[in-house]
Amino acid sequence: MTPGRVGIALLSLAMLGAKAASVASEPLVYVSNERSNNVTVIDASSDKVVATIPVGNRPRGIGVSPDGKTIYVALGHDNAIAVVDAASRAVKGRFAAGSDPEAFAVSPDGARLYVSNEDANTASVLDTKTGKVLAAIPVGTEPEGVSVSPDGRRVYVTAETTHTISVIDTSALKTVGTILVGSRPRESAFTPDGQRAFVTAEIGGQVSVIDVAKNAVVSTLKLDRPGPKPKGVVVHPSGKWAYVANGGSNDVAVIDVEALKVTAFIPVGIRPWGLGITRDGKKLYVANGVSESVSVIDTESQKVVATVSVGKGPWGIAVGR
Amino acid sequence: MTGRRFGRRAFLASLAAGSAALLTARSTRAEDVFTVGVLLPVDAERATELSRGAALGLEDANAMATLFAKRLRLETETDRPGGQAGRALARAGVLAIVGGAGPGGGETLLQLAGAGTTVLNVGALDDRLRNEACDRRAFHVAPSVSMYVDALTQLLIEQRKLLRWSVVSDGSPRGAEIEAAARRSMARLGGSIGGDAAAADILLLAVEERGVDNAMTRAVGEGRRPDRIAAIGEGGMRLPGDRAAGIWALAWHHELERFSARELNGRFRRRWNAPMTETAWAGWAAVKLVGEAVVRASATDGAALVAFMESAPPFDGHKGEALTFRKWDHQLRQPLYVAGARKREEISGSLGPLAVLADVGGKNLDALGTAITESRCRFAS
């Protein structure tokens, strides 16, 4: 498929049929493995690996459609986003995604992907039905992490060189604000009520807390660890806790969202990077890039309850249905 | 090429960058404009490297600053003997001066700092500028001689256990500083200098930067193992492929990829169709640092700039660590790199004579260079 002809190249139905498997009723956790070019599938009920899906070259950013039927994986060395059928666990097509795609977010209605284009300093908006690029919106320099507000109206794009969050209005498809945060912002995550967002800054070693309505930083939380290098961030479905993967200090910071305080650091594997949390909030999954494992944290006890071996260079995590 | 021509070119580059950045600006407010002076060395090659690095730094700084209704511009002059160019920039009211990349450039910067201008040193490696000759208004983006030598000893003594060193000195002040730094480092790490030169594990070239490539070639011609001769700086990059040799401590390398170095190197190469050298990196970093002071601290004068730098803001130099200025000597903490010669058949296209062997200092950046307990710097209050 050429970059100019955007769309899903459907593989033959026969191939899909041959590999068909039912979608498990328990949540499935998908882990992109940057150096083994595949996605590990973990059954959250047993925390066992149930499948490994070859997807393409240098998979990093990963997301699941709201209905759980489709997994999207950014393929940095293929300049594409793989579209994986969750039932058959097979790649059913690709979207052209510009140079070296790394991170993206799926809209709450599943209709769009918002993709950061690092070399072009834009965020692309893709239609998930057609793969067509609806817009390329200028953002800061070296855009990286992308997140969508729960109501789908705002998209945050971090920019690592300008140390900013570009705030995109998803109706107007334009940037409506810019927020200065810590040095080298990597990811952001909204609270379920959409009122606040948490932004990690890898070089700044901090988390910026943003008042979404005001487009302003209301608090900055220093991560009191040696060279923490925070990267991944998720918010608990209850909205009470935020979790930050500290790739430099090999732990996960627990943030009390109401008090805006770091209350604990949970030791995990080496270079924790991507995070994913189950929809009931009971389990937090942590991709340990160097350990080649996923730590499973029980959020109630704040302890690691399992460690799962995955592929090489686990990077991102997405939790399905 | 004259300083004025460089200035025009840099200005045009800033205009182009500004136009691009304006596309993302969210405000129609009038911009506050801040001028950064750049003193280029007489040497054309080094001047080009610094000019290009500073121009990319300006583009990156303005990509951020224009989002907040601020803008930087560069005023560029060539630093000829006598120091008039620097004084003229200072009189013109620049926010800071970036320079120090040529012979005597460090002294020029110190004179400017002594007269009240905030300066960022991007090329003078002298340890004395960070010690007895230090000035509170001077900030050193370029590493010191001691930092380079420590990078070599940390790899070769600590990790490879090559303990017996011999030094070849050209008798220059730079040579003396390299040898002194090596002796200081040996005292820390347990190696030794002296004894039978022929039996030494490592031959250290303590020579001026402009002669180090020839010194390397001579040492190889005298029968030394090419991978057992150590030196500092980018002289090894000038060696032709059939004479590639040595182990070199570097502040930057155009093939670095980790920690988004790939993106920075890529931007530089796309912008200038040339590799990013360590002088170019320092120029980029210095201008971007000033931009961050303007945006983050609303610095509008030299004193505010000094206060910002002294507050140790974590700077992202694409080296994987937060880079901050040391309080005791205003040296920028940073990882360094050690590179070795490629095999002749591997040198082609963008793959030059040296390949990075290791990065050094990441876990303890203060183990590179003068420690607080060793510092002879005393800032005037």
Which tens digit of pLDDT belongs to each residue from A251-306?
A: 999 999 999 999 999 999 999 999 999 999 999 999 999 999 999 999 999 999 99
CATH 3.10.20.30 for domain B146-250+335-367, yes or no, is: no
Whether B297 and chain A come into contact, CB under 8 Å, resolves to: no
Q: How many A/B residue pairs have CB atoms within 8 Å? A: 67
Buried b (16+ CB within 10 A) or exposed e, A50-80: eebbebbebbbbbbbbeebebbbbbbbebbb
B63, A140: Cβ pair inside 8 Å?
yes
* Closest CA of chain A from B319, distance in Å: 10
Residue B147 phi/psi, 5° resolution? -65, -45
Task: Dump the DSSP string for A236-284.
Answer: -TTSSEEEEEETTTTEEEEEETTTTEEEEEEE-SSSEEEEEE-TTSSEE
Q: For residues B124 and B131, give the distance between their C-alpha atoms in angstroms, rounded to a whole number.
A: 13
* Closest CA of chain A from B196, distance in Å: 43
- Percentages helix, strand, coil for chain A (3-state, rounded to 5) are 0, 55, 45
CATH number for region B3-143+256-323: 3.40.50.2300
> For residue B365, which of B303, B330, B323, B327 has the smallest C-alpha distance?
B323
What distances in angstroms separate CA A231 from CA A202, A225, B109, B369, one per listed residue? Answer: 6, 14, 39, 30
List CB contacts (< 8 A) between A118 and chain B: 263
> For residue A73, which of A320, A319, A316, A321 has the smallest C-alpha distance?
A316
List CB contacts (< 8 A) between A119 and chain B: 263, 266
Residue A3 reports pLDDT greater than 50 = no
Per-residue model confidence (pLDDT) at position B123: 96
Whether B26 and chain A come into contact, CB under 8 Å, resolves to: yes
H or E stretch at B286? helix B278-296
List CB contacts (< 8 A) between A205 and chain B: 314, 322
Q: Which tokens hold the place of B297?
A: 């601290």
Whether A162 and chain B come into contact, CB under 8 Å, resolves to: yes
Q: Is B9 helix (H, G, I), strand (E, B) or coil?
A: helix
CB within 8 A of A116, min separation 6: which ones? A101, A102, A103, A104, A123, A139, A143, A144, A145, A146, A157, A158
**Mutual angle of helices B84-91 and B105-114, in 10-degree steps:** 40
A160, B296: Cβ pair inside 8 Å?
no
What is the per-residue pLDDT across A24-37, written as a single tens digit (0 to 9) for each?
A: 456 999 999 999 99
* Closest CA of chain B from A274, distance in Å: 16
**β-strand pairing of B96-99 with B119-121:** parallel
Q: State which amino acid sits at residue B296.
A: R
H or E stretch at A116? strand A112-117
* Closest CA of chain B from A295, distance in Å: 24
Whether A101 and chain B come into contact, CB under 8 Å, resolves to: no
Q: pLDDT (tens digit, 0 to 9) for every residue of chain B, 381 residues total?
A: 233 333 334 333 433 333 333 333 344 468 899 999 999 999 999 999 999 999 999 999 999 999 999 999 999 999 988 889 999 999 999 999 999 998 889 999 999 999 999 999 999 999 999 999 999 999 999 999 999 999 999 999 999 999 999 999 999 999 999 999 999 999 999 999 987 888 899 999 999 988 899 999 999 999 999 999 999 998 888 888 888 899 999 999 999 999 999 999 999 999 999 999 999 999 999 999 999 999 999 999 999 999 999 999 999 999 999 999 999 999 999 999 999 998 877 887 778 889 999 999 888 999 999 999 999 999 986
> For residue B335, which of B377, B367, B373 has the smallest C-alpha distance?
B367
A160, B260: Cβ pair inside 8 Å?
yes
- Interface ipTM: 0.84
The strand order across the sheet containing B138-140 reads B70-78, B32-40, B96-99, B119-121, B138-140
Contacts 24+ apart (CB under 8 A), B305-309: B305/B95, B305/B96, B305/B118, B306/B118, B306/B136, B306/B137, B309/B139
Whether A215 and chain B come into contact, CB under 8 Å, resolves to: no
Q: For residues B184 and A89, give the distance between their C-alpha atoms in angstroms, rounded to a whole number.
A: 61
* Closest CA of chain A from B26, distance in Å: 7
Q: Which tokens hold the place of B271?
A: 């912008």
List CB contacts (< 8 A) between A203 and chain B: 314-316, 321-322
Whether B192 and chain A come into contact, CB under 8 Å, resolves to: no
By C-alpha distance, the chain A residue nearest B323 is A203
A161, B63: Cβ pair inside 8 Å?
yes
Whether B266 and chain A come into contact, CB under 8 Å, resolves to: yes
Residue B347 phi/psi, 5° resolution? -85, 115
Nearest CB to A203: which of B26, B68, B322? B322
What distances in angstroms separate CA A176 from CA A82, A179, A317, B304, one per listed residue? Answer: 30, 10, 29, 31
Whether A118 and chain B come into contact, CB under 8 Å, resolves to: yes
Q: Which tokens hold the place of A146?
A: 């992308």
Q: Is B202 helix (H, G, I), strand (E, B) or coil?
A: strand
Question: Which of B259, B260, B271, B296 would best serve as a mutation to test chain A binding (most A beta carbons within 10 A)?
Answer: B260
A141, B63: Cβ pair inside 8 Å?
yes
Q: State which amino acid sits at residue B13.
A: A
A203, B67: Cβ pair inside 8 Å?
no
When computed from its CA atoms, the radius of gyration of chain A, rounded to whole angstroms, is 18
By C-alpha distance, the chain B residue nearest A176 is B26
Q: State which amino acid sits at residue B271.
A: R
What is the per-residue pLDDT across A45-77, written as a single tens digit (0 to 9) for each?
A: 999 999 999 999 999 999 999 999 999 999 999
Contact indicator for A31, A155 with CB cutoff of 8 Å = no
B316, A203: Cβ pair inside 8 Å?
yes
Whether A184 and chain B come into contact, CB under 8 Å, resolves to: yes
List CB contacts (< 8 A) between B363 and chain A: 227
Whether B301 and chain A come into contact, CB under 8 Å, resolves to: no
List CB contacts (< 8 A) between B324 and chain A: none
Query: How many Å separate Cα A250 from the centre of its chain?
Result: 19
> For residue B51, which of B105, B14, B88 has the smallest C-alpha distance?
B14
Residue with tokens 């502040």: B251
Angle B314-A233-A193 from CA coordinates, rounded to 5°: 120
What is the CB-side half-sphere exposure of residue A14 using CA atoms within 13 A? 0
Residue A64 phi/psi, 5° resolution? -120, 140
List CB contacts (< 8 A) between A161 and chain B: 60, 63-64, 263, 316
Q: For residues A184 and B60, give the distance between their C-alpha atoms in angstroms, rounded to a whole number.
A: 13
B316, A183: Cβ pair inside 8 Å?
yes
Q: Which tokens hold the place of B207?
A: 């020579």
CB within 8 A of B379, min separation 6: which ones? B134, B135, B136
**Mutual angle of helices B44-65 and B261-272, in 10-degree steps:** 110
Domain ranges of chain B: 3-143+256-323, 146-250+335-367
Exposed / middle / buried, residue A207 (Cβ in 10 Å: 0-12, 13-18, 19+): buried
Contact indicator for A229, A248 with CB cutoff of 8 Å = yes
Q: Which tokens hold the place of A190?
A: 């909204």
Q: Which tokens hold the place of B18?
A: 């500004």
> For residue A242, which of A227, A230, A253 has the smallest C-alpha distance?
A253
B314, A138: Cβ pair inside 8 Å?
no
B63, A204: Cβ pair inside 8 Å?
no
| Bridge partners, residue B360, by sequence | B336
Whether A140 and chain B come into contact, CB under 8 Å, resolves to: yes
Nearest CB to A142: which of B260, B296, B321? B260
Residue with tokens 């083994």: A36
Q: Is A151 helix (H, G, I), strand (E, B) or coil?
A: coil
What percent of chain A shows pLDDT beyond 90? 88
What is the per-residue pLDDT across A154-180, written as a single tens digit (0 to 9) for each?
A: 999 999 999 999 999 999 999 999 999
Q: How confident is the model at residue A11 (pLDDT cuts 50, 70, 90)?
A: very low
**β-strand pairing of B96-99 with B32-40:** parallel
List CB contacts (< 8 A) between B316 and chain A: 160-161, 163, 183-184, 203
When computed from its CA atoms, the radius of gyration of chain B, rounded to whole angstroms, is 20
List CB contacts (< 8 A) between B296 and chain A: 180
Mark out the alpha helices in B29-155 (DSSP H runs).
Answer: 44-65, 84-91, 105-114, 145-153
Residue A126 phi/psi, 5° resolution? -110, 140
What is the CB-side half-sphere exposure of residue A251 using CA atoms within 13 A? 18
Q: For residues A77 and B44, give the distance between their C-alpha atoms in angstroms, rounded to a whole number.
A: 38
